[in-house]
């Protein structure tokens, strides 16, 4: 089961969050970092204390470890593939 919710932050920026169930049975909040229409979405999460980026394509999902990839680097990789 996946739960979605939305809110506005202090700068009136619309944020879309997602609670995802991991394979280990625990839950982790995903923050939508970037959206490229309906083709691809970039989420971030901190499941075990370290940040990682989840890139959801229409047909598959990729995970980038935040220790090696910054958000800017992940965006650059995604934009090259679009």
The tens digit of pLDDT for each residue in 50-70 reads 889 999 998 999 999 999 999
pTM for this prediction: 0.69
| Rounded distance between C-alpha atoms, residue 55 and residue 2, angstroms | 16
Which tops the pLDDT comparison, 39 or 7?
A: 39
Confidence check: pLDDT of 48 > 80? no
What average pLDDT score do residues 30-41 get? 89
User: Domain locations in the chain?
Assistant: 3-81
Which tops the pLDDT comparison, 21 or 46?
A: 46
Cβ neighbours for 52, distance < 8 A, ≥ 6 positions apart: 44, 45, 46, 63, 64, 65, 66
């Amino acid at each position: 089961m996946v739960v979605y919710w939305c809110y506005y932050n202090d700068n009136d920026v619309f944020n879309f969050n997602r609670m995802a169930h991991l394979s280990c049975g625990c839950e982790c909040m995903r923050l939508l970092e970037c959206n490229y229409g309906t083709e691809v979405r970039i989420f971030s999460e901190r499941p075990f204390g370290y940040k990682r980026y989840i890139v959801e394509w229409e047909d598959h999902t990729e995970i980038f470890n935040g220790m090696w990839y910054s958000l800017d680097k992940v965006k650059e990789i995604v934009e090259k593939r679009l």
